[in-house]
């Protein structure tokens, strides 16, 4: 028999039941300002209606109940079809672009479904500790909660696409700039231990478990195993690329000059007539940015990180600037080396979990990027700032398995190892307990609705 304490130690949190409650509640908090009509609309093929996220995150837990709860009867065949995302192993499903083509299940029915799953899951979690397979089940429940946190972030992207400044987000005041961040950090090459694992000090390179914190020793299979790579000496920007710098690229004719673009990028520029990042618009010849807080002159946001650019645009900018994007190994080294200890740490600032003073993550409730230089307390040993939070950072690395990769869950990460690029560091929409320096996010190179920006690197 496995005791709750033993399992909690394995799962890495004092109470999986508490974590379950907290994460599930936050999804509904994010949606709270929505009107009923907002829940079912799909504004683009790549986004999903909020009602779908609410049901899908519950569907994920229903698959756990189906597999591990003896005698569990599915809630509804129709829901299994509508709320499955892409899992072949769980049967047929609605095509993604059609998620917004039906009004049923209704929002009320979806919420009732969610409540049903929560009741079942609460009882199920309580009963699990006596089972021989408790460890397996609890790690899948944990995966379900990390999955839900990923959908919380997607909800923010999708609500922005759907409503943008019409959404009544509970916006907290943005932090103020506290430091000037300039230049590039020189990082020495050599052997580097890439990925999640136990460090030389016996610490795991993940958030420290703290009382009351929902962070803990969790990492996705795609961050493992930690393995040795060789890096050349390199330089990396201490700051994210700003709107001001990006505007210079635009004014220099960046979007009109094929020389800066990959072929796929130039094709997109021509086909989609890209002239600026997503959510930029022109007002009497002046560039404006629309975000959750309203419509603003870019001139008033020059010192903010550029966001909603694709990998293709980030690469074009870097080439124009005489630089390049970092590889994910370069990014990780610049983010997490402790020079004193000569080892990896969980975050740029050390092993302590993120807080208000170190990074702009979802709990800050800023619902937007913070000015460059707002988080000197969160800088890395190399003086790189805002590596955690604000915007996901495009890297030049292809999203592929690390050597020695072992899939821990079918169809979760392993089926996406083709054609996508790795992003690092989290955004203002990422929950605090969901991010770490080794986290590998991935999107297609042309995607712009993701809250993504970049910093550049250079050979030494």
Binding site for Fe ion (CB under 5 A): 85
Question: What are the tokens at 219?
Answer: 């990492």
Q: Pick between residue 123 and residue 415 the one whose CB is nearest to Fe ion.
A: 415
DSSP 146-172: HHHHHHHHHHHHHHHHHTGGGS---PP
Q: Pick between residue 85 and residue 380 the one whose CB is nearest to Fe ion.
A: 85
- Considering the complex, what minimum distance in angstroms separates the CB of residue 259 from Fe ion? 39
- Residue with token string 């997503």: 278
- Considering the complex, what minimum distance in angstroms separates the CB of residue 57 from Fe ion? 7
Let me know how many helices (H) and strands (E) the chain has, helices first.
10, 14
Going edge to edge, which strands form the sheet with 234-237? 184-187, 234-237, 457-459
Burial class (CB in 10 A: 0-12, 13-18, 19+), 428: buried
- Considering the complex, what minimum distance in angstroms separates the CB of residue 167 from Fe ion? 22
Give the CB-nearest residue to Fe ion.
Answer: 85
Question: What are the tokens at 440?
Answer: 């590998």
- Considering the complex, what minimum distance in angstroms separates the CB of residue 58 from Fe ion? 11
Of the candidates 180, 179, 183, 177, which has an alpha carbon nearest to the alpha carbon of residue 382? 183
456: β partners? none
- Considering the complex, what minimum distance in angstroms separates the CB of residue 59 from Fe ion? 9
Q: Pick between residue 56 and residue 160 the one whose CB is nearest to Fe ion.
A: 56
Q: Pick between residue 258 and residue 409 the one whose CB is nearest to Fe ion.
A: 409
Q: Pick between residue 52 and residue 428 the one whose CB is nearest to Fe ion.
A: 52
Q: Pick between residue 85 and residue 379 the one whose CB is nearest to Fe ion.
A: 85
Q: Pick between residue 83 and residue 287 the one whose CB is nearest to Fe ion.
A: 83
Q: Is 126 helix (H, G, I), strand (E, B) or coil?
A: helix
Q: What distance in Å separates the CA atoms of residue 309 and residue 306, rounded to the nearest whole number?
A: 7
- Considering the complex, what minimum distance in angstroms separates the CB of residue 405 from Fe ion? 20
Residue 282 φ/ψ, nearest 5 degrees: -100, 135
- Considering the complex, what minimum distance in angstroms separates the CB of residue 406 from Fe ion? 21
Q: Is 202 helix (H, G, I), strand (E, B) or coil?
A: coil
């Amino acid at each position: 028999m496995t005791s709750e304490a033993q399992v909690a130690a394995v799962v890495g949190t004092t109470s999986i039941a508490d974590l379950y409650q907290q994460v599930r509640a936050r999804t509904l908090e994010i949606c709270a300002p929505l009107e009923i009509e907002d829940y079912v609309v799909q504004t683009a093929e790549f986004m999903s209606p909020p009602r779908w996220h609410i049901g899908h995150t519950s569907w994920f837990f229903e698959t756990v109940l189906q597999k591990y709860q003896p005698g569990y009867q599915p809630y509804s065949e129709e829901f299994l079809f509508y709320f499955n995302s892409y899992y072949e192993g769980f049967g047929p499903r609605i095509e993604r672009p059609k998620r917004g083509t039906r009004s049923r299940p209704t929002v009320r029915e979806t919420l009732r479904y969610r409540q049903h799953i929560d009741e079942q899951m609460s009882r199920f979690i309580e009963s699990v500790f006596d089972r021989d397979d408790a460890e397996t089940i609890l790690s899948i429940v944990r995966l379900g909660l990390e999955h839900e946190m990923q959908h919380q972030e997607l909800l923010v992207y999708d609500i922005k696409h759907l409503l943008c400044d019409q959404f009544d987000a509970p916006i907290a005041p943005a932090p103020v700039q506290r430091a000037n961040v300039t230049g590039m950090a020189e990082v020495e090459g050599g052997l580097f231990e890439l990925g999640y694992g136990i460090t030389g000090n016996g610490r795991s390179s993940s958030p420290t478990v703290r009382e009351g914190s929902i962070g803990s020793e969790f990492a996705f299979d795609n961050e493992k195993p930690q393995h040795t790579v060789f890096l050349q000496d390199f330089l990396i920007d201490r700051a994210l690329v700003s709107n001001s710098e990006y505007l210079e690229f635009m004014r220099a004719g960046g979007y009109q000059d094929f020389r800066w673009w990959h072929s796929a990028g130039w094709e997109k520029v021509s086909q989609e007539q890209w002239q600026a990042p997503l959510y930029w618009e022109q007002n009497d010849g002046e560039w404006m940015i629309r975000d959750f807080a309203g419509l603003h002159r870019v001139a008033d946001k020059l010192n903010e990180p550029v966001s909603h650019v694709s990998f293709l645009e980030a690469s074009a900018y870097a080439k124009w600037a005489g630089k390049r994007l970092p590889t994910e190994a370069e990014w990780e080294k610049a983010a997490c080396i402790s020079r004193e200890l000569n080892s990896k740490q969980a975050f740029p600032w050390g092993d302590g979990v993120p807080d208000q003073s170190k990074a702009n993550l979802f709990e800050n409730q800023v619902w937007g990027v913070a000015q460059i230089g707002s988080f000197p307390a969160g800088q890395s040993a190399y003086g790189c700032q805002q590596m955690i939070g604000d915007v996901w950072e495009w890297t030049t690395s292809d999203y592929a398995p690390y050597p020695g990769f072992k899939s821990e869950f079918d169809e979760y990460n392993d089926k996406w190892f083709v054609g996508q690029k790795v992003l690092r560091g989290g955004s203002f929409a990422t929950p605090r307990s969901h991010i770490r320096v080794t986290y590998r996010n991935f999107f297609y190179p042309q995607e712009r609705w993701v809250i993504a920006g970049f910093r550049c690197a250079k050979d030494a």
